[in-house]
A and B are shown apart, each in its own frame.
Chain A
Amino acid sequence: MTSGKVAQPEKQALTPAVGTGLPRSKGGSLHPLAATLTRTLGPRKVLSNLSERLNYRYDAIAFGATPLAVVLPESTADVVAAVKAARAAGVPIVGRGAASGLSGGAAPTEPGLVISFTRMTRLEIDAARREARAQPGVITLAVTEAARPHGLIYPPDPASFRTSTIGGNLGENAGGPLCFKYGVTGDYVQGLEFVDAEGDVHTLTRDTYDLAGLLIGSEGTLGLITEATLRLTVPPRFTRTLMAHFAEVGACAEAVSAAIAAGAVPSKLEFMDRACTNAIEDYLHLGLPREAEALLLVDTDGDDLETVEEERALVEAACRNAGGTVRRAESDAEAAQLWQARRSVSPALGRIRPQRMNEDIVVPRSVLPEVVREIRALGDASGLHLVQFGHIGDGNLHPNILFDPRTESLEAVHELAHEVARVAIRHGGVLSGEHGIGSMKLAFMREAVDAETLAALWRVKHALDPQGALNPGKVLPPELA
């Protein structure tokens, strides 16, 4: 990179505005809950037609049950009214942001009320306190865009940050490439306002019992977050980007471990395998090395240029020692393109097979080489299309099984996914680094978490949501009798 600034996002985040009084689709009989909500909140905030409801049953990985009604609240008071109406009707409540999540967290398991927060977009920056107060519908990238004129940023950067909302990020405790150095969404929360299962509003800070911490990553199963106070930071003055590619996936992981052991603290350390690189090339045509088995993208950053370049040199040396070929990004534009490529990996995989089973495991860095090799070998032995990418710096990998349900056996896919989860558990890892458990990883939870701990988690759930109305069927596997 030639200039010393942190690469600017290449496009702005668009924050959707509140809807207008345009014609609505007609159709379908009105569910009593929809009728009640329409009376309480007005027709503009309630969706009840089939075409409308069909669109609020999925996220970026799963399709769920079609809701009975959808509320688009514009204030905390609207959320309270919606929760009370759903409780009176005895139906479950699922919170939803932009539905770009990858665990099925926002896809309802049974028909109920979906509360979609996309119209709660108030955002205030308090530069003196280095804080942002954001309603849940604020687009993730919009926080940094609003903070930047004050010389501040909001670091959490999930790949979907142009689409995803702060509420969704809180629900899944989203990460992103920057989380290796700067931490995940939960690390930036100073306080929360939430509506509980009874429709009461509470304001939380991080002292006393850290109930805010409990809500973060709870996927709307304990309460609905209606506002967050987020910590902002000063962006580093300098960023340097490099790309390295390797003839074998394990070598890439070895380079990562060696670079970190040598003292480098890159801000981003991202890995993708050959299939990912090729899917991205088909989309963006950047001239990435299609033949390499593994590609590593690295940013080093800081306020002292010498240190930043030293760190990049450490990573370069580790890559070369592991047999990698290194290329430095020569401009901000080139670096921005490489990072756009990285953000596009997950959806670009749709070019290979129409459906997929994705994972989000985290393993200790020391075992990364073994883990990526074991997973690669499992994939090769299975005959299925398994690919890997992820935030390798913090051991967070996204093995994905890409498949065609008409020609490939679903049992085989599930079995392979299970095997991959077992690799993580065997090496002292966990099932979710940033996507959440949702419904996609429920099946493996009993192996990942022991029975006593699960029972304790259920007691927490019962304490906060005694009726089990909040996003049922997520995070925790069914209680054993």
Chain B
Amino acid sequence: MGYEGKVPVNNDILTHHPDGQGEVMAHAVDACVHCGFCLPACPTYALLGDEMDSPRGRIVLMKEVLEGALPLYDAAPHLDRCLGCQACVTACPSGVPYGELITSFRGWSEPQRQRSPLDRAKRAAILKILPAPRVFSLAARVGQFAKPLAPLLPNALRSPLDLLPEHVPAMQPSAAFTPARGQRRGRVAFLVGCAQQALTPNFNAATLRVLARNGIEVVIPEGQGCCGAAALHTGARDEALKLVRANLAAFNPDDFDAILSNAAGCGAGLKEYPAILHGLPDEAQARAFAAKVQDISEYLGGLLEDGELEPVLPASRPLTVAYHDACHLAHAQGVRSAPRALLRAIPGVTVLEVPEGDLCCGSAGTYNLEQPELATQLGIRKAKNILSTQPDLIASGNIGCHTQIQSHARRQGSPVPVMHTIEVLDLAYRGEL
């Protein structure tokens, strides 16, 4: 946000919203030159083919609403369909921080929305259950038994059940401290995430093993919680602020070389803290915090680049791995080459590129719960594209993509294993790949 002191030119948003969030939105709108380069990058434009469901169209709609020229209810259906995947940010030559814009806009607009009681209850339930791994685990295990009933249920209840794996594992809480193996070369803090603790506990276990193997000691600071991204991206700003501040209190960036996340959505959320707190007293603290945040693949990729990554054992046979770019890793954090380089560092592994690789899988946080129809179309398309490469293995770096891809690949009859990049690396270190 290098715009302090600059006055926006193409909009009047600051007049109507003279605060930190107004500033974030005004400057994002100002940066848009409406060239349309974002259109072919946008999943909803690809599906719907109309301007309102494109990033450029949405920027115009948000501007009109913020300036009071368009009622919120008129623009809302189109803004709600935005996945927040930020593929448009990658495609944008003029540097529009679209992610910050839509996040801030949702935070501002949500309290004014008139939603049905059922809708309200559903959203509240999502935001209660998702950040609480124990509750989530319980819900998931109950849901597991309800799965056969899914076809009989209304859409709102069916979509979360469809995404549940056949087997929900038991929770495995991670140790608060994992010592380095061998010579200690670094010290990091780790954000354990929410849904993945319940659904895929091996993501965290593998992360800790690989870091320790590389001489990195890992601290899981007490008092940490949900990163707040789910709340923030659905407009529950007050809820999000509580979570953000709890994490700022739990993690002292000066104590660590890096603050790591192994969920692309969470890592991107942590990196958003300065924008969320823009204009508030703890903005500087958020900046210091965000400067230390890295995705696990970004951090290990750094070690690899410096020639400091512990050598990995070769795969037992030549293995093709289709790597899926999580939007919140590739588009929101710009991390593309590191995970590929890590996979390629395993002798015997060939990384396959997925057609339409920049297009979101439809998971997008809570999107597959809120917009199941579009999410399903994108999920089917993603699974088809991935499977077209005929991989031995599918790797990605985000729990949301993981469940979405797994669920759609299975429905298309494919048994190909779906893993987190770190799990592939972990298996290779153990000689089990």
Contact = CB atoms under 8 A, between A and B. Distances in A.
Contact of B39 (A19, A22, A47, A98): A98
Interface string A1-29: 00000000001111111111011111110
B322 interface: no
Interface stretch (A310-318, A343-351, A372-380): A343-351
Most buried by A among B30, B74, B81, B93: B93
Contacts of A257: none
Contacts of A26: 73-74
Contacts of A283: 93-95
Interface in B344-402: 355-356, 358-359, 373-374
Contacts of B60: 54-55, 58
Nearest to B36: A100
A55 B36 contact: no
Given A55-B57, A282-B95, A355-B9, A160 B49 contact: no
Interface in B249-278: none
Given A347-B92, A351-B94, A16 B31 contact: no
Interface stretch (B40-48, B101-109, B182-190, B280-288): B40-48
A422 interface: no
Interface in B44-71: 45-52, 57, 60-61, 64, 70-71
Contacts of B47: 16-17, 19-20
Interface residues of B, number: 46
Nearest to A162: B40
Given A14-B356, A27-B74, A347 B52 contact: no
A15 B381 CA distance: 14
Contacts of B61: 51, 54-55
A99 B51 contact: yes
A358 to B, nearest CB: 11
Contact of B94 (A14, A54, A119, A350): A350
B32 interface: yes
A13 B78 CA distance: 23
A116 interface: yes
B39 A25 contact: no
B33 interface: yes
Contact of A16 (B10, B46, B70, B74): B46
Contacts of B356: 12, 14
A70 to B, nearest CB: 9
Contacts of A47: 50, 52
A344 B57 contact: no
A16 B35 contact: no
Contacts of B35: 60, 100, 160, 346-347, 350
Interface of A: 11-20, 22-28, 47, 49-52, 54-56, 58-60, 72, 98-100, 116, 118-119, 139, 160, 162-164, 279-280, 282-283, 344-351, 354-356, 404-406
Interface of B: 7-10, 30-37, 39-41, 45-52, 57, 60-61, 64, 70-71, 73-78, 81, 92-95, 355-356, 358-359, 373-374
17 contacts: A17-B48, A22-B48, A27-B74, A28-B74, A51-B61, A51-B75, A52-B50, A56-B51, A58-B60, A60-B33, A280-B93, A344-B37, A345-B93, A350-B32, A354-B30, A355-B10, A406-B9
